[in-house]
Chains A and B, each alone.
Chain A
Amino acid sequence: MKRLRVIGIGQTLAGDDGVGMMVARHLRFVCGSEVDIVEAGVPGVGLLDLLRDVEAAVVIDAVQSGRPPGMLHRLEIPRDLNVLLHAWGRGCSSTHAFGLGETLMLGQTLGLLPAIMRVYGIEIGQIERGNPLSPPLLAGFHSAARQIQQDIEQLVAMLQDLGKSRQEQTGA
């Protein structure tokens, strides 16, 4: 079982909306095999199934709040659940009945979230059907992806340390 799952969500046929998916695809090439990467599309409540059986999960989604495209927002769950629910509202990436905030709140209510849960929102420009990422977002894409990659590497190291100290405790 892998201990960390990274989940990209969004609609790749709707321009910038697919940025979470694109970052996940990128991370597949640069992250180690200890990270399970999933390009989940628009999973709705099905996201909860992807959060089972792991110690830590990272979700990457598109967000639109009027800030410069490519800007990275980072939320720790459950601490920032209210930000996700209210400030991000229904979000722009999921048009479905259960947005990301509602889904994670449901998971929190039912005790289904992993111990470490983080959400990245990448600020986007245009949602245009069928088009690839817009130039302003492309310009900021790699910096956002690099930041997420670094954070993931730290998370992996932390999980390894945790595992070691657990083993030591068990051994003692």
Chain B
Amino acid sequence: MPGNPPTRTRTLTVDLITRVEGEGALHVKVQDGTVQAVELRIFEPPRFFEAFLQGRHVSEVPDLVARICGICPVAYQMSAVHALEAILGVTVPSRIRALRRLLYCAEWIESHALHVYLLHAPDFLGCDSGLDLARRNPTVVQRGLRLKKAGNQLLTVLGGRSVHPVSVRVGGFSKVPTLSALRALRDELLWARDAAFETVRWVARFDFPGPDQDYTVVSLRSPHEYPMNEGRIASNRGLDIEAAEFETYFQEEQVPYSHALHCTLDQESYLVGPLARLTLNTACLTPLARQALDDTGLSLPFTRASMGIVARAVEILLAIEEALDIIEHYDPPSEPSVPFTVQAGVGMAVTEAPRGMLYHRYVVQDDGTIQEAKIVPPTSQNQRRIEDDLRAFLPQVLHLSNAQAARSCERIIRSYDPCISCATHFLTLHIEQMSSPLS
């Protein structure tokens, strides 16, 4: 601009961060070699699901929220039914509880297998994409797809179909599987258990790029089992609260540059997801998952987000072991669901989606319709954490070409397995560098 002192501006743009769910942008401002601002911009209009749910009957909610995400519909259904059951005073019997856990196992298996094999592993192996990895190493990708399919098959038997399951309802299920339908999956799950064990060994050999961070990790924690549907919210900094207290401790705030809300704990970023769960619940790992983790020689807590791939692989193995165990002891419930009478009230629940804690709160009116719904997905909780990682990491890559710096940033972001189609949608990278010392 005429009259202004000369400045050196470097702009770095990645139009679309690949291998994440959705679209958005990253804007980075660098002044005299120092990173001034890191803004994760999410473009897609905010999810209208919260408004969409208003006026709907509680019995419609599980089917509606399943549509929020094609990858993790079970998580949305589980948080919803638990929050609604808290209002309606419904306690499900242990057999239904076990089936819900089995359903969650299915989702963890298929969601994690997709991310580990097709979205994240290519980063560690010098491949541009899952497709590139498939060309170079078809056997390994076929193993990943078969693992994912094992999860989908389980989901189909329990949920009625492999995407957007339709069997979940308040109080239980519309239909429960027969013993023989579940037993028929046993052989494939036994194969999957071996494949998952091998997956942990495979990913543990990768090189994990930094930055090293002292993460505040948050997940559900329960004394006797690895958390999926139940537990108190815990952190490695001593937090230990009821799920219903979520909004007292966690704050959602609007940021001017993004359509997704940011969630913080004591004004600070925190990490949710497999890495957080593993850190806080190591004591509850299943035997093989425990052994596989020990065999890696990696010690907890993991200080790099990129190591999330190991946590994810361990959780695939855990979910398969648990699924086999539940199937082994399966005794079909006499009734698929518990009846309920509608009543007004407010209910909250947190469950562990593949990507981390998923909070739902509902206000139900006398006639059983939803007056208000609030949904806090894991990706909006990790959003600030991703920015903090990038802020710490960017100084290491500013000497690189735009394309290389952008690729490195993408890798960090992908480590989090962000599901922007839940939080909303994802990403272009824009680095603005002013008065750069770089030539």
Chain A residues near B (Cβ < 8 Å) = 11-13, 40-46, 48-49, 90, 95-98, 102, 105-106, 109-110, 129-130
Which residue on chain A has the smallest CB distance to residue B20?
A97
Other than the given A96-B70, A97-B119, 13 more pairs (CB < 8 A) read: A41-B163, A43-B70, A45-B114, A46-B110, A46-B148, A46-B163, A95-B21, A95-B22, A97-B20, A102-B131, A106-B131, A106-B134, A109-B135
Interface residues on B, range: 35 or more
Interface residue? B71 (CB, 8 A) = yes
Tell me whether A98 and B118 are in contact in the complex, defined as CB-CB below 8 angstroms, given that A41-B163, A42-B70 are known contacts. Answer: yes
Chain A neighbourhood of B70, CB < 8 A: 41-44, 96
Tell me the bound Cα distance from A13 to B142 in angstroms: 32
Dominant secondary structure at the A interface: loop
Choose one: B18, B21, B48, B162; the contact of A46 (CB below 8 Å): B162
Report the minimal beta-carbon distance from A36 to chain B, rounded to whole angstroms.
14
> Min CB distance, A89 to chain B, in Å?
9
Q: Does B95 contact A (CB under 8 A)?
A: no
Contacts of A110 in B (CB 8 A): 134, 138, 141-142, 145
A97 in contact with B19 (CB, 8 Å): yes
Q: Which one, A41, A45, A96, A105, contacts B164 given CB within 8 A?
A: A41
B73's closest neighbor in chain A, by CB?
A41
Query: Within the assembled complex, what's the spacing in Å between the Cα atoms of A80 and B19?
Result: 23
Q: Are B145 and A45 in contact, CB atoms less than 8 angstroms apart?
A: yes
| Smallest CB separation, B169 vs chain A (Å) | 19
> Shortest CB–CB separation between residue A96 and chain B, in angstroms?
6
Docked complex: B1-17 residues within 8 A CB-CB of A: 16
Whether B163 pairs with A95 at a CB distance below 8 angstroms is no
Interface residue B315 (Cβ < 8 Å from any Cβ of A): no
Given known A-B contacts A44-B70, A49-B162, A109 and B131 have beta carbons under 8 A apart = yes
B142 engages A96 (CB within 8 Å): no
Query: In the complex, A12→B119 CA distance in Å?
Result: 26
In the bound assembly, the distance between CA atoms of A30 and B71 in angstroms comes to 31
Distance of A97 Cα from B413 Cα, bound (Å)? 13
Separation in Å of the A16 CB from the closest CB of chain B? Answer: 16
State whether the Cβ of B347 lies closer than 8 Å to any Cβ in chain A: no
Determine whether the beta carbon of B135 is less than 8 Å from that of A46. Answer: no
CB A28 to nearest CB in B, in angstroms, measures 15
B134 proximity list for chain A (CB < 8 A): 106, 109-110
- In the complex, what residue of chain B is closest to A130 when comparing beta carbons? B52
What string of 1s and 0s marks CB contacts (under 8 Å) between B114-148 and chain A?
10001100000000011100110010011001001
- B168 to A: closest C-beta gap in Å: 15
A44 near B71: Cβ-Cβ < 8 Å? yes
* 6 cross-chain pairs, A with B, having the tightest CB-CB distances, nearest first: A42-B70, A41-B163, A109-B134, A95-B421, A129-B48, A13-B67
